[in-house]
Amino acid sequence: MKSTRIGLVMMNDERPHVYRENESVNMEVLRKWASLLEKECSAVDGSAPEIVVASETVKSIPVARKIAAEFTRQDCRQVIMCYNVWNFPFLVWPFIENLRPSLPILSLSNNNGKFPGNVGLLASDGALRQAGIRTHRIVGNMDDPAVLSAVIDWLWAAQASTCLRGSVYGCYGGHSMGMETGYFHLVPALQSFGCTLSQIDQLLLVKEMETILDTEVEKGFLWFTQLLQDRILYDGKMLTEDTLKTQIRLYLAMKKVNEEYGFDFCGLKGQRELTEHVCLGDIPEMLMNDPYDWNGPKEPMVCATEADAFAAITMEILKYASAGLPTLFMDVRLYHPDLDLWDLCNSGNHASYYATRTCNPEENYKKITFHPALEFYFKAGGASVEFTAAAGPITFARLGIWNGKPFLVVIPGEALDLPIDQQNRINAETDPTWPHVHARFNASFDQFLKIFPANHLQGVAGKYEERLRYFAEINNIPMILLKKGKDIPQIWELVKG
């Protein structure tokens, strides 16, 4: 998975008789932190961000500049400033001011009475904050699991921030059906996240489909046929071998254009041009978001249904916050007050990963059925993907805009494992041929209704509230955490636009 380098440096005392005594000990602490983080900060695919260890501790103005130059040459995008002993606080300035602007900074200290790194942290980090520089602070010992967990949370939040900066969203076709909450708000996106878009007409995908080799389409078709067998419900009209192959061809065309143009994540408008004249986008969108296809394991490529740009950015944040898991895109469809349950479903890109929460397609596809697309909405035909998501914790989230200012809503929750007859009754109330998440939020219906900014909700398997809090603070946007029993003011009181 894409990552950015992390600079690891130790701040020290300026007095020669002191730093000569402690240099080797401090560098050993730095190397131990690097080794620990390299081991613990691995992504789902086994990759890990590279950690660059400073060549010596910062103990003078020239050395501060030297380490900053080292980190700059190696393109470190976030910095952990370690404190193991008392240090001279002013040395943070010749170090920080010679780095790239606005990079995430973590101040990390021991909690030791004899060697008071935490005193140096508060003095040095306090100086940075006086000047308006955003930092985060963690104080504790390396062998404390809570301390290590907090550092890992910060690192993945920083990765989400730094990988998003400079990224490009490939928007195929523009926002769909006039859904302005899905529009790419250019200036807020650039100012808050450093990402931009390249808008491509869907006609390009149609033309690229003509260049896709039939042999590759047949590989995909055979893969689906073997995985699903009689659970591809051909009807001879909307879902045929040809319409399914057209969806596979669209996936391959979008994958090709993404690679050729260098898009980091993407969105497909679909309605109405593709859905009425080419095919339904459900299969291509699912495949993009999954960690595999017929050629084997791959990195999930965030792809938002209906080209919902702020959904796509949210999914990209969740992907990095979770160290590379596939993400979910859902309609906020129906609330069942008697069960305190949300049925989250849409014709679109629930990654098949969520059928059993494994990276094994054979296991996931045992739970999946392909249905004919609904002719009423999707005249060009193709397959809709149907399954009910496996149980487990989910962090739900969504970026929104209030008066030009981005904010992030985060909702802890879970997918429920209901009896099959109850699942079927619930699914039948909306559309039983689409994918469903039966969700319970740790938030009330009234809280959600008061704050939530759009009709589309995003999510990722696991619990990542702390990582998202770090992310929001790094990027200077409000995070609104919805939790039951917590009073939530109106959005205009929470976000000052």
Query: Above pLDDT 90, what percent of the chain?
Result: 91
The answer for residues whose C-beta is within 8 angstroms of residue 145's C-beta and 6 or more apart is none
| Residue-wise burial string across 42-51, b where 16 or more C-beta atoms lie within 10 A, e elsewhere | ebbeeebbeb
- What is the reported pLDDT for 180? 80
Contact yes or no for 250/209 (Cβ under 8 A): yes
Residue 325 has pLDDT above 90, yes or no: yes
- What is the reported pLDDT for 426? 95
Cα angle 438, 319, 180 (rounded to 5 degrees) comes to 75
Nearest CA among 329, 437, 421, 353 for reference residue 388 = 437
Q: How confident is the model at residue 367 (pLDDT cuts 50, 70, 90)?
A: very high
Q: Residue 284 and residue 220: Cα distance in Å, rounded?
A: 11
- What is the reported pLDDT for 449? 94
The answer for residues whose C-beta is within 8 angstroms of residue 92's C-beta and 6 or more apart is 11, 64, 81, 124, 125, 127, 128
Q: Residue 442 and residue 484: Cα distance in Å, rounded?
A: 6
Residue 419 has pLDDT above 80, yes or no: yes
- Find the range with the poorest average confidence among 170-179, 339-348, 451-460: 170-179
Q: How confident is the model at residue 44 (pLDDT cuts 50, 70, 90)?
A: very high
The model's pTM is 0.95
- 201-254 pLDDT tens trace: 999 999 999 999 999 999 999 999 999 999 999 999 999 999 999 999 999 999
- What is the reported pLDDT for 497? 60
- What is the reported pLDDT for 238? 94
The domain made up of 168-494 has a fold known as L-fucose Isomerase; Chain A, domain 3 (3.20.14)
Residue 161 has pLDDT above 90, yes or no: yes
Contact yes or no for 347/434 (Cβ under 8 A): yes
Contact yes or no for 193/475 (Cβ under 8 A): yes
The domains spanning 5-164 and 168-494 adopt the same CATH topology: no
The CATH classification number of 5-164 equals 3.40.50.1070
DSSP summary character for residue 379? T
The answer for residues whose C-beta is within 8 angstroms of residue 159's C-beta and 6 or more apart is 3, 4, 49, 78, 320
| Domains in the chain: boundaries | 5-164, 168-494
- Find the range with the poorest average confidence among 38-47, 142-151, 170-179, 401-410: 170-179
- 99-138 pLDDT tens trace: 988 899 999 999 887 888 889 999 999 999 999 999 999 9
Residue 368 has pLDDT above 70, yes or no: yes
Residue range 322-346: mean pLDDT, rounded: 95
Q: How confident is the model at residue 271 (pLDDT cuts 50, 70, 90)?
A: confident
Residue 87 has pLDDT above 90, yes or no: yes
Contact yes or no for 460/322 (Cβ under 8 A): yes
- What is the reported pLDDT for 353? 97
Residue range 416-420: mean pLDDT, rounded: 96
- What is the reported pLDDT for 496? 79
Mean per-residue pLDDT of the chain: 95
